[in-house]
Amino acid sequence: MNLNKKQTNIIIGIALLICFMPFISPAFALIMGIILSLLGVKNDKINKYTSFSLKASIVLLGFGMNLSLVINASITGFYNTAISVLFVLFWGYVLAKILKVDSKTATLISVGTAICGGSAIAAISPVINAKHHQTSFALIVVFVLNAIALIIFPIVGHYFHLNQVTFGNWAAIAIHDTSSVVGAGATYGAKSLEVATTVKLIRALWIIPLSIFIALLQQDKASDKPKVPWFIGLFILSILIANFFTAYASFFTYLNWIGKRGMVLALFLIGSSMSYSAMKDAGLRSFLMGILLWLLIGVSSFIVLYNQI
């Protein structure tokens, strides 16, 4: 598109405002950014705020996490979550080597599949200094599979006559994004929603140790000091504050809303830096890795949980 600087800034400004609309999803914002970028409607100056918006959003999202639900969760739920996270990370590493997928893209796809989709990718991306196109492509893979899971999981659950507790555990372990886990659980039943939400919260908290672990691996060779992700510490602090100072619950809800909208904004910024060359470099192998990894955790967790009925 042949637009002057003023016209470009107006369009981008409108897009940024749209990101704060409650009906705009993270996936839609990412796609909107990619489309505008591929059409040549971009402002490189705003991309420098991407990392900060990601980190700030992660911190604010902590105000919406119910720590008491996680603490009161069953030992079985924690055990299943721990095994599933380690299982996905291991096979993500193996598949990345076999398919020769870019290491940072592979890491983001793996953590997105293992923990909580877009939020995990957003948290790990600045820790490993991933480029915008690597983050964007990992998000695309996860969002596409996430949408498919939201549709087919309830169908599979009803076909095999899964009880609500089993389905809730399966959805929480094998569906990427929290919103889709909640959606699938709610579709299946009230008890399924309760179990899925609780187990998913446990799974989401894996962002904390995993971010710190990866940060220790990503050492600054110049100073030989690990790059500690400060925002993860603030994320933990926001969770603790929200759960100990319950008198300010309404205010914390507002902060959490800002975090959610900030995440949508950050994903738009990530998408707006996408290019044809970056998409070509990512290739079909990254998609194949994401699909295989998702099938592995989906099928294996189903078999284990089904046999426990």
In this predicted structure, the answer to whether residue 221 has a pLDDT above a threshold of 50 is: no
- How much is the pTM? 0.79
Range of the domain at 148: 5-307
223 has a pLDDT exceeding 70: no
**Per-residue pLDDT at 224:** 45
* Residue 199 buriedness (CB in 10 A; 0-12 / 13-18 / 19+): buried
pLDDT at 89 over 70: yes
Mean model confidence pLDDT for the chain: 85
Task: Give me the phi and psi of 20, to 5 degrees please.
Answer: -90, 0
| pLDDT tens for each residue of 238-279 | 989 998 998 999 999 999 999 989 888 988 888 887 777 766
Q: How far apart are CA 44 and CA 239, in angstroms?
A: 34
In this prediction, residues 57-76 reach a mean pLDDT of 75
CB 61 within 8 A of CB 263: yes
Which residues are bridge partners to 226 per DSSP? 219
d(CA 103, CA 48): 23
Asked whether the predicted pLDDT for residue 6 surpasses 70, the reply is yes
Q: Is 225 helix (H, G, I), strand (E, B) or coil?
A: strand
State residue 98's pLDDT score: 94
Q: Is the pLDDT of residue 217 over 80?
A: no
If you average pLDDT over residues 207-223, what whole number do you get? 73
Q: What is the four-CA torsion angle of 64, 24, 109, 205, rounded to 10 degrees? A: 0
Q: How many domains would you assign to the chain? A: 1
The residue-averaged pLDDT of 41-52 equals: 79
C-alpha Rg value of the chain to the nearest Å = 19
Which pLDDT score, from 0 to 100, does residue 222 have?
Answer: 42
Per residue in 129-144, pLDDT (tens digit) is: 888 888 888 888 888 8
